[in-house]
Amino acid sequence: MGYREVYETWKADPEAFWMQAADAIDWVRPPSKALFDENAPIHEWFSDGLVNTCWNCVDRHVAAGRGDQIAIYHDSPITHATKGITYAELQKRVATLAGALRARGIEKGDRVIIYMPMIPQAIEAMLACARLGAIHSVVFGGFAANELAVRIDDAQPKAIIAASAGLEPGRVVHYKPLLDQAIEAARHKPDFCVIFQRDEDIAKLIEGRDVSWYGFQYGIEPVECVPVEGNHPAYILYTSGTTGQPKGVVRPTAGHLVALAWSMENIYKIGAGDRFWAASDVGWVVGHSYICYGPLIVGAQTVVFEGKPVGTPHAGVFWRTIQNNRIKSFFTAPTAIRAIRREDPDGEYIRRYKLHDLQALFLAGERADPDTIEWAQRHLGVPVIDHWWQTETGWAIAANPLGIEELPVKLGSPAVPMPGYDVQVLDESGQPVPPGTLGAIAIKLPLPPGTLSGLWNAEERYRKSYLSHFPGYYETGDAGYLDEDGYLYVMARTDDVINVAGHRLSTGAMEEILARHPDVAECAVIGVSDALKGQAPLGFLCLKKGAATAPDQIVREVVAMVRDDIGPVAAFKQAVVVDRLPKTRSGKILRATMAKIADGEDYKLPPTIDDPAVLDEITALLRDLPRG
């Protein structure tokens, strides 16, 4: 069957399609049906099935006689450590870690925050939670203590599992002091913390609260997998919304298993024994779905890579890792390819390594610009596949499904909707627009298995943010169009979310921080285009009258405040002082217009603008601004 037939098969009978896909999973009790729509527009999948994620990721592969195969390959070009962990070893480690967590009181439904860098222990911690039915929430290492504190208060974890440190090129990121600060700042306190001590930084443990990773597992008996209901939350993953309060995306267990298994085979063309590598971070959704769960569900080999595309030590490290691991399918963000290309424009490093096993490069996380795709196609000689998805969906909404059929690539398009997703482009009144017309990209409900069931402890926010604007649809927050052939083009966000180096960030959250500076009367943050990172945040500050501090100093202070509060990952490095901000007559700041001016794009003067002269001032200022 080709793509069209598969898509039509799903459309004709979604229930049968997903029940068949569910056969790829080992159930303790198979579900009686796929869709549970009693609570529409909030839908559930496979709710009355009983299942365990860890069993499906680990134990079943050992039971099938593949315990000796490598499950996780760890490669750190920073510490020079490389190590393969077999499925049998993984089972032992995870079952013992789960036993130690249980001995300290962790049970099904308890939340556990994981704050770890790219080491196999991060994956083991996720799987140990899954083994017990505990709900993990992984926090990205590039976030500062305050972001961690916000997540602790929202998820209310019974335990936090952290490493003593992460390693960035040229610097050790001391996680433990950040963790201590976060717990100090949070209202909720975990019962205990498990600390994995790294050789590069041995952290001081707090007696009575902290235990060491190995110490607390000493003498512990391994435990079995706990069956959970299909709709039991597997994890919460926080992502940026329009305000400083991140959204806790909840991923239900069974749909997650079924959808990821389907995607591994049909999108990435990966099965048992194959070698797959997603060069992302466990703190992001790509890391959850395609470093940890997806490859392991199908019994493939995954790579935990602690390094960067460039500088660790050179722009050939990705290709070296692909060669050494004989990677069949590779996944990264376009920004990583741009970084490599900048240092190795002629692809000399690519030619230095034997990439015979590589069959495809997948790109996601931000729009893949045609230039980057063409460069990769030319130098790698394999299909380069852009695919589009979000933390909320957990797997691709639109892709070129290599496992079904390799469709022609159209540059600038992440190709076509995947089964399960009825993608429509809507105008402001919620009506579908003709092909070629730009509009809001929405997905007709229900969303497929594997997508979010809601936001943690925030059902109203879930309805308001995603379901209420276009009744009957899920609003993606992206704008774009469909062409005559049904290919989708994703062009921009419709909200204040920006995408910096494949990282999703909230300009609203940055504005909240700038506004706290005592000399700032008013502010705005926009995303401006950046040759390497896709976008970069740029701040505008209106100062209070009579501010004693020099404007340059204020800019330095707000840059430091954002780094301290959100973290280095915000990459907030530039702000300018202006007399006034362009606004509508009702006082709304014209951020989208400012972004267009900054990028040198044409813009229409908004009819409701209060004073058009302000735009001229902004234009003059941005013209002279040095840009990265």
Binding positions for ligand AMP, rule: CB under 6 A:
239, 285, 364-368, 386-388, 390-391, 414, 477-478, 490, 493, 499, 504
Tell me the closest approach of the beta carbon of residue 389 to ligand COA, in angstroms: 10
Is 162 near ligand COA (CB under 6 A)?
Answer: no
Nearer to ligand AMP, 49 or 365 (CB): 365
Residue whose entry in the numeric block shows the structure tokens 């000493």: 218
Q: H helices of 523-570, where?
A: 551-565
Which string of b and e fits 437-471 if b means at least 16 CB within 10 Å?
eebbbbbebbbbbbbbbbbbebeebbeebbbebbe
Greatest alpha-carbon span in the chain: 74
Nearer to ligand AMP, 31 or 477 (CB): 477
Tell me the closest approach of the beta carbon of residue 570 to ligand COA, in angstroms: 8
- Give the span between the Cα atoms of 320 and 369, in whole angstroms: 25
Binding partner of residue 239 among ligand COA, ligand AMP, none, CB under 5 to 8 Å per kind? Answer: ligand AMP
Site for ligand COA in 200-239 (CB under 6 A): none
Binding partner of residue 504 among ligand COA, ligand AMP, none, CB under 5 to 8 Å per kind? Answer: ligand AMP
Nearer to ligand AMP, 14 or 334 (CB): 334
Is 480 near ligand COA (CB under 6 A)?
Answer: no
Collect all residues with Cβ–Cβ distance below 8 Å to 397 and sequence separation of at least 6.
388, 389, 390, 417, 418, 421, 423, 443, 476
Is 388 near ligand COA (CB under 6 A)?
Answer: no
Is 384 near ligand COA (CB under 6 A)?
Answer: no
538 residue type, one letter: L
- Give the span between the Cα atoms of 313 and 309, in whole angstroms: 9
Is 571 near ligand COA (CB under 6 A)?
Answer: yes
Binding partner of residue 335 among ligand AMP, ligand COA, none, CB under 5 to 8 Å per kind? Answer: ligand COA
Running DSSP on this structure, what letter comes out for residue 469?
S
- Give the span between the Cα atoms of 207 and 196, in whole angstroms: 15
Site for ligand COA in 314-353 (CB under 6 A): 333, 335-336, 339
Nearest to 621 by CA among 574, 571, 573, 577: 577
Tell me the window of 92-100, 568-576, 603-611, 612-620 that interacts with ligand COA (CB under 6 A).
568-576
Nearer to ligand AMP, 244 or 582 (CB): 244
Nearer to ligand COA, 169 or 381 (CB): 169
Tell me the closest approach of the beta carbon of residue 568 to ligand COA, in angstroms: 3
* Beta strand pairing call for 70-76 and 81-86: antiparallel
Site for ligand COA in 511-550 (CB under 6 A): 533
Nearer to ligand COA, 139 or 578 (CB): 139
Taking the CB of residue 69, how many other CB atoms lie within 10 A of it? 17
Tell me the closest approach of the beta carbon of residue 305 to ligand COA, in angstroms: 10
Is 173 near ligand COA (CB under 6 A)?
Answer: yes
3-state DSSP assignment of residue 508: helix
20 residue type, one letter: Q
612 upstream amide cis, omega within 30 of 0: no
Is 394 near ligand COA (CB under 6 A)?
Answer: no
Distances from the Cα of 102 to the Cα of 121, 130, 139, 160, angstroms: 17, 12, 22, 14
Tell me the window of 305-313, 383-391, 392-400, 614-622 that interacts with ligand COA (CB under 6 A).
305-313
Nearer to ligand COA, 217 or 391 (CB): 391
Paired tokens of 299: 């019994």
421 residue type, one letter: Y
Paired tokens of 475: 């609003």
Asked if 94 and 58 touch (Cβ cutoff 8 Å), the reply is yes
Is 198 near ligand COA (CB under 6 A)?
Answer: no
Query: Which parts of this chain interact with ligand COA (CB under 6 A)?
Result: 141-142, 166, 168, 173, 280-281, 284, 286, 308-310, 333, 335-336, 339, 364-365, 500-503, 533, 568-569, 571
